[in-house]
Amino acid sequence: MSGLSQRRFFSPGAPVPAVAALLCCAALAPCPSLRAQHQGEWQQLFNGKDLVGWTPKIRGYDAGVNFGDTFRVVDGLLTVSYDQYGGRFEGRFGHLFHDLEFADYRLRATYRFVGEQIADGAGWALRNSGLMLHGQPAATMAKDQDFPVSIEVQLLGGGEHGERPTANLCTPGTNVVRDGKLWTQHCLNSNSPTFRGEQWVTVEVEVRGGTFRHRIDGHTVLTYDGPQLDPRDGDAKRLLADGRGVELTHGTISLQSESHPVQFKTVELLPLAAPGPWLEPLTAKALAEHFTTKGNWSLADGVATLTPRDGEQGWQRYDHYLWLDDDKPFADFEAEFDYRLQEGGNSGFYFHVGDEAQPVQTGVEVQLYATAPDKAAAKLTDHDAGGIIPGGPPSENASRPIGEWSRMHVVCENGRVQVTLNGRLVHVMALDHQAIADRPRAGVIGFQDHSLPLELRRLRVRRL
């Protein structure tokens, strides 16, 4: 039976109608009125009372059979328990599936590990659970299948000693793309901190247009693209043979049961409109294919380099900026890139520029600066890395040492700009902030020529 044929979409009276209707549109066809109505509204997938809208699938049992009352609601918490297993787990891996499929969204879950692992649980399954995304429907799983074919956001708890990050990636029956290359290993650790004991942890995952971002406390701990079925995997082969495409553009969400008790306080979802395609202008053979400039910029092997000419200095060389050449201005957008500076280096990422002859007066700048990594947060200004000019300093110093590449991610959406530097969320500013309220809400994107050396690579931009 085809995974696609088993999709359950919204009909009157179904759970979470706003989410369902919106994401059906996202998966199948444009639905602008619903997008406009529900964008920005978090939807509770778990109602805090019962498991309406969810279906269990436990290895060795048919979908819908909740063996041992594994999944239950206790004191308003969605709880995974093994107290009715007779003291033996016996490989009965379980998953609780939401009854709908989803495409573009932010998923936020607050969880904690409690109690002790059941006696014969595997060592790797200690304090181990997961959020299974873009998965196959429960009804398409084989009776003895361990895990749904999906993208797993692995949730781990630490022991008394050692480091054990959470919000990792595991890929049952799937592969992803990392830095432009196919990633075929099963698991990949994030750079999150370790959370010990029974403390509550909130994990957020943004799934948008084939790009996944795992976040803890707003900071990005893992990023990857291109979720797809793995043709080497037996369970994935069955889905492929049944007509499902290799690319995973949507799918189910399920919560995992792997032998250690776990509780979820909230499971909520924010629908997102499907983004435009990524534009990757530095993959061209020449800068002139996607940029305009009068400065001494060059492109080789995907790296754009600014080499100031002898005798040139000063930051007011507006026509020497590197401008992204696009017929349509950028309003809401997402951009990310690597940059590298030398000692004392200074540049900027400009957006919403209304007049290329006056970018400082008619645009917003995210500062690229060779901030010393040991500079105290209290001494940061808007001219330090990740600062917004005009507007304010970054909230923390996320700079890397001189000579190393830094990764910047800028999102302008729903009236605010958000800056992440080297995975750390360093700035959030409303576009109506008094410092930038007079700037256009759409315009050109570019990089500043400050008459100092600069290198750029892995630039990609898309409209939201």
Residue 19 pLDDT level (bands cut at 50, 70, 90): very low
SS3 state of residue 158: strand
Q: Is the pLDDT of residue 310 over 90?
A: no
Note the pLDDT of residue 39.
53
Work out the percent of the chain whose per-residue pLDDT is above 70.
Answer: 91
Q: Give tens-digit pLDDT for 264-309.
A: 999 999 999 999 999 999 999 999 999 999 999 999 999 999 998 8
Q: Where, residue-wise, is CATH 2.60.120.560 in the chain? A: 4-271, 281-463
3-state helix, strand and coil shares in percent for the chain, rounded to the nearest 5:
10, 40, 50
Q: Is 40 left (phi over 0), alpha (psi -120 to 50) or beta?
A: left
pTM over 0.95: no
Identify the CA nearest to 282 among candidates 302, 255, 311, 308: 302
- Which CATH superfamily hosts domain 281-463? Exo-inulinase; domain 1 (2.60.120.560)
Q: Output the pLDDT for position 12.
A: 29
Predicted confidence (pLDDT) per residue in 240-252, tens digit: 999 999 999 999 9
Q: Which residues pair with 262 in a beta bridge?
A: 80, 113
Q: Is 135 helix (H, G, I), strand (E, B) or coil?
A: strand
Q: Tell me: the pLDDT tens digits for 354-381? A: 999 999 999 999 999 999 999 999 999 9
Q: What is the mean pLDDT of residues 448-459?
A: 95
Over residues 37-50, mean pLDDT = 83
Q: Can you tell me the distance from the alpha carbon of 334 to that of 223, in angstroms, rounded to the nearest whole number?
A: 14
The pLDDT assigned to 32 comes to: 32
The pLDDT of 163-177, averaged and rounded, is: 98
Question: Within a 13 Å sphere around the CA of 170, how many CA atoms are in the beta-carbon half?
Answer: 18
Given phi > 0 = left and psi -120 to 50 = alpha, else beta, which region is 186?
Answer: alpha
Q: In this structure, which CATH number among 1.10.357.140, 2.40.37.20, 3.30.420.40, 2.60.120.560 belongs to the domain 4-271?
A: 2.60.120.560
Determine what percent of the chain is predicted with pLDDT higher than 90: 87
Per-residue confidence (pLDDT) for residue 20, from 0 to 100: 41
Half-sphere exposure of 348 (CA within 13 A, CB side): 25
- Picking from 357, 204, 331, 223, the residue whose alpha carbon sits closest to that of residue 269 is 204
Query: 392-428 pLDDT, tens per residue?
Result: 999 999 999 999 999 999 999 999 999 999 999 999 9
In 3D space, the residue among 439, 425, 423 whose CA is nearest the CA of residue 395 turns out to be 425
* Cα–Cα dist 238/95, whole Å: 19
Which burial class, exposed, middle or buried, applies to 277 when counting CB atoms under 10 A from its CB (0-12, 13-18, 19+)? exposed
Phi-psi region at 232: left, alpha or beta (left = phi > 0; alpha = psi -120 to 50) = alpha
